[in-house]
Amino acid sequence: MNPPQLLDGKSIAATVLDECRAEAAALLEKGIRPGLAVVLVGNDPASQVYVGSKTRTCSDLGFHSLKIELPTETTQEQLLKVVQDLNADPSIHGILVQSPPPKHIDEEAIIRAIDPRKDVDGFHPENVAKLVLEDPTGFVPCTPAGCMKLLEVSGIPTAGAEAVVIGRSMIVGKPMALLLVSKISNATVTIAHSLSNDLPAICRRADILVAAVGRPEMVKADWIKPGAVVIDVGINRVSDPSKKSGYRLTGDVAFEEVAPLCSAITPVPGGVGPMTIAMLMKNTLQAARQFHP
């Protein structure tokens, strides 16, 4: 087989961000500055890195960026008050509460408290319903939207393809399946998970395999149909004494053994990750446009 096409999320995300920058400039000429508020509760190092990246990207695009950092001991009531204040702030079009919050916070209640018109993560029940209904005014969760953009820009056809999504979370798995089965994509979709009977056999049917299960290098070579397209959503830290950091980043797919079998595959890092932030910026622009039609 020929070497696989590497689906370069960095370069595709850069193109999306260039489009966002131009659109933000056009809105600014009309007196509208897209605004995104990112709320971080606690001091989780990975969350701090993600939040920093999101706020830097906002600033680079000319958005109004508001970062609110709250201590770990912040109560549910205090966090709800912050969300309510942001809901009422006309300079903020998008609100994101970084996940996961500390264990004492009811994350579902926080998601439901966000004005669905500002829910640029796409997790509010109203936006989930709009995704099911294929209503374009809703917000699509950023990671699945980024995966679809990767497929689209890379010229990978989905119509009639057999797609398997490993994972059933509301963040990736379920919305990914809905996007693939939509009237735009027209794939035939199976949602599988860690408890599926004979998971490797299910995966071997896939023309497009999306791994979003959160287990390092779980997907092995004998799970892959030759010529399949593999989208690896996972990003896991694995101990590696040879690295200065003491760890390496890996996906849910055993890349070195799987890649030779694929027609196309995403690397980790540099595949899906950059697309997630790019699609968050697109959602924020959509929110700003919908507030100022």
Residues composing the chain: 293
Residue 122 · residue 138 · CB < 8 Å: yes
Give the percent of the chain with pLDDT over 90.
90
Catalytic residue among 119, 121, 232, 252: 121
Active site (annotated) includes residue 119: no
Residue 250 · residue 268 · CB < 8 Å: yes
Q: Given a cut of 90, is residue 149 above it in pLDDT?
A: yes
Q: 194-202: which pairs have CB atoms within 8 A and are 24 or more residues apart?
A: 199/166, 199/223, 202/164
Active site (annotated) includes residue 81: no
Active site (annotated) includes residue 54: yes
pLDDT per residue as tens digits for the range 110-142: 999 999 999 999 999 999 999 999 999 999 999
pLDDT per residue as tens digits for the range 252-293: 999 999 999 999 999 999 999 999 999 999 999 999 999 998
Q: pTM for the full model?
A: 0.95
